[in-house]
């Protein structure tokens, strides 16, 4: 690596800056078109992006919103979920998954994850269902899909809707089926570091259900259908920005390339680091991973992270604290040991640098440093 990454953020900033260098003309053309259009909010760029993103997935409707967290919040609201309801999800996720459930007044109910894929253990879901359960919220974490065939069978048996958290899984497939096309609705984030990232905050919800689509459009627009008349509450202002929609429409045409770039880096890591004692990402059968994060595992994580820092490589941990053990969720009353696999993983996982513009030289530096650190443990 030509310069030492000081922290994970720095690495991500590099990724974004390199992408901007390569795509600058296209991005600025999108911005210029919006600024000159005379329509800065809910104009043609938003409609165009919604149509393109829905079509890319082969789903009837897409509603652009202001970020991925609110995509989940509005998704839950659009399914009629609120105070007193329970939503089954996982604790091994980005906190916003759970923040969104809390935000609508519902209670998150956690099941543990698989030791090998780090994804929702669908086999535990049925036992977690109570008379108050109103939805299942699987998270396609790190870029790999949850077993939605099995989860759909459970959901159908109990008449429960599935809301997919696709914030880390743009373009991921399971048995050929794209993430975001199975559930009643699916929430996406376009936070800049995501596989499909905006130049600021943005999000979207996909659905094939016209009623859910209508609910979402009202919810993001104060609860209005026509201007100045609120027809339902609660209402939010959760619109995707016209500029971000225009940029995303152009970037969507390159989504396959971004994924291919990530997969190539993942393949190099896997080839170089197999047999080292590092637990590499496990692919569930039928899954096409998009490697939003390349998560590995080692029982002596702190030593590995420290050793890598000495080599000038700052490693991220996604995520160091399971959500149910975070201070803000203490009221859930879930003590240590309540989700044993999730808790064990949180102490051992870490991520290797991963973004499409990471150079081969940088990948080599990461690999050689890691081999050296592991060798000296
Ligand atoms: C990023 C992320 C979110 C939240 O998206 P924002 O756009 O940052 O609000 C939600 N869930 C998961 C799994 C994420 O990775």
Retrieve residue 292's tokens. Answer: 């939003």
Number of other CB atoms surrounding residue 98 within 10 Å: 26
Give the rounded percent of residues in the chain with a pLDDT score beyond 70.
96
Mean pLDDT value across residues 217-222: 98
Which residue, 100, 95, 118, 98, is CA-closest to 110? 98
Retrieve residue 73's tokens. Answer: 């919040």
Ligand 1 centre and the CA of 142: distance in Å? Answer: 11
Which residues pair with residue 154 across a beta bridge? none
Q: Does the pTM exceed 0.85?
A: yes
The CA-CA-CA angle for residues 178, 179, 182, to 5°, reads: 85
What burial class does residue 329 get, using C-beta atoms within 10 Å of its C-beta: 0-12 exposed, 13-18 middle, 19+ buried? buried
Q: Hey, whose CA ends up nearest to atom 14 of ligand 1?
A: 167
Query: What pLDDT band is residue 15 in, cutting at 50, 70 and 90?
Result: confident
State the pLDDT at residue 16: 84
Is any atom of ligand 1 closer than 6 Å to the C-beta of 238?
no
Residue that is written with structure tokens 């053990």 in the block: 325
- Residue 10 reports pLDDT greater than 50: no
Is any atom of ligand 1 closer than 6 Å to the C-beta of 75?
no
Query: What pLDDT band is residue 13 in, cutting at 50, 70 and 90?
Result: low
- Residue 88 reports pLDDT greater than 80: yes
Ligand 1 centre and the CA of 72: distance in Å? Answer: 9
Ligand 1 centre and the CA of 37: distance in Å? Answer: 30
- Residue 11 reports pLDDT greater than 70: no
Name the DSSP letter for residue 141.
G
The CA-CA-CA angle for residues 140, 95, 306, to 5°, reads: 90
Is any atom of ligand 1 closer than 6 Å to the C-beta of 363?
no
Is any atom of ligand 1 closer than 6 Å to the C-beta of 67?
yes
Which residue, 110, 5, 115, is CA-closest to 348? 115
All domains of the chain, ordered by start, with CATH? 3-11+255-375 (3.90.1150.10), 21-111+120-252 (3.40.640.10)
- Residue 4 reports pLDDT greater than 50: no
Q: Are 24 and 359 in contact (CB under 8 A)?
A: no
Retrieve residue 234's tokens. Answer: 């609660």
Q: Which atom of ligand 1 is nearest to the CA of 100?
A: 10
Which residues pair with residue 226 across a beta bridge? 229
Query: Tens digit of pLDDT for each residue in 310-349?
Result: 999 999 999 999 999 999 999 999 999 999 999 999 999 9
Q: Which atom of ligand 1 is nearest to the CA of 189?
A: 7
Number of other CB atoms surrounding residue 305 within 10 Å: 17
Among 189, 194, 351, name the best residue to mutate to test ligand 1's pocket (greatest count of ligand atoms within 8 A of Cβ): 189
Q: Are 44 and 160 in contact (CB under 8 A)?
A: no
Query: How would DSSP label each residue in 187-219?
Result: EEE--TTSSS--SS--EEEEES-HHHHHHHHHH
Query: What pLDDT band is residue 6 in, cutting at 50, 70 and 90?
Result: very low
Name the DSSP letter for residue 44.
H
Q: Are 80 and 202 in contact (CB under 8 A)?
A: no
Q: Are 355 and 15 in contact (CB under 8 A)?
A: yes
State the pLDDT at residue 8: 46
Mean pLDDT rounded to a whole number for the chain: 95
Residue that is written with structure tokens 């920005």 in the block: 241
- Residue 96 reports pLDDT greater than 70: yes
Task: State whether residue 139 is helix, strand or coil.
Answer: strand
| Alpha helix (H) residue ranges in the chain | 8-35, 44-57, 68-78, 95-103, 125-128, 148-158, 210-219, 242-252, 255-273, 301-310, 340-346, 360-375
Is any atom of ligand 1 closer than 6 Å to the C-beta of 69?
yes
Q: Are 120 and 113 in contact (CB under 8 A)?
A: yes
The CA-CA-CA angle for residues 353, 354, 356, to 5°, reads: 140
The CA distance from 298 to 348, in Å, is 5
Q: Are 308 and 333 in contact (CB under 8 A)?
A: no
- Residue 137 reports pLDDT greater than 90: yes
Q: How big is the chain, counted in residues?
A: 377
CB within 8 Å of 235: residues ≥ 6 apart: 218, 219, 221, 222, 223, 224
Q: Are 182 and 231 in contact (CB under 8 A)?
A: no
Ligand 1 centre and the CA of 100: distance in Å? Answer: 10
């Amino acid at each position: 690596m030509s310069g030492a990454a000081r922290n994970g953020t720095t690495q991500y900033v590099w990724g974004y800056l390199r992408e901007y260098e390569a795509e600058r003309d296209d991005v600025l053309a999108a911005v210029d078109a919006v600024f000159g259009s005379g329509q800065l909010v809910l104009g043609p760029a938003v409609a165009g992006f919604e149509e393109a993103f829905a079509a890319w997935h082969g789903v009837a409707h897409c509603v652009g919103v202001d970020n991925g967290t609110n995509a989940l919040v509005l998704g839950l609201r659009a399914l009629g979920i609120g105070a007193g309801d329970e939503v089954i999800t996982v604790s091994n996720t980005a906190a916003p998954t759970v923040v969104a459930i809390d935000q609508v007044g519902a209670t998150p109910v956690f099941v543990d994850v698989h030791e090998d894929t780090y994804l929702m253990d669908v086999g535990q879901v049925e036992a977690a269902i109570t008379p108050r359960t109103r939805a299942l919220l699987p998270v396609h974490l790190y870029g790999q899909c949850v077993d939605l065939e099995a989860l759909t069978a459970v959901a159908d048996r109990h008449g429960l809707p599935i809301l997919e958290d696709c914030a880390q899984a743009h373009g991921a497939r399971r048995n050929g089926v794209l993430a975001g096309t199975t559930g009643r609705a699916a929430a996406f984030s376009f936070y800049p570091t995501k596989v499909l990232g905006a130049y600021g905050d943005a999000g979207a919800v996909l659905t094939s259900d016209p009623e859910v689509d209508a609910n979402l459009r009202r919810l993001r627009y104060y609860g209005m259908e026509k201007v100045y008349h609120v027809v339902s509450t609660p209402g939010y202002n959760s619109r995707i920005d016209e500029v971000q929609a225009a940029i995303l429409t152009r970037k969507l045409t390159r989504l396959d390339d971004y994924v291919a770039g990530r997969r190539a880096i993942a393949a190099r890591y896997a080839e170089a680091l197999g047999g080292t004692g590092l637990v590499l990402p496990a692919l569930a059968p039928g899954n096409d991973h998009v490697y939003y994060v390349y998560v590995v595992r080692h029982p002596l994580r702190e030593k590995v992270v420290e050793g890598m820092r000495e080599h000038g490589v700052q490693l991220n941990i996604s995520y160091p604290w399971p959500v149910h053990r975070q201070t803000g969720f203490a009221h859930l009353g879930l003590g240590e040991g309540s989700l044993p696999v999730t808790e064990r993983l949180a102490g051992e996982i870490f991520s290797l640098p991963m973004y499409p513009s990471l150079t081969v030289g940088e990948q080599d530096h990461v690999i050689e440093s890691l081999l050296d650190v592991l060798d000296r443990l």
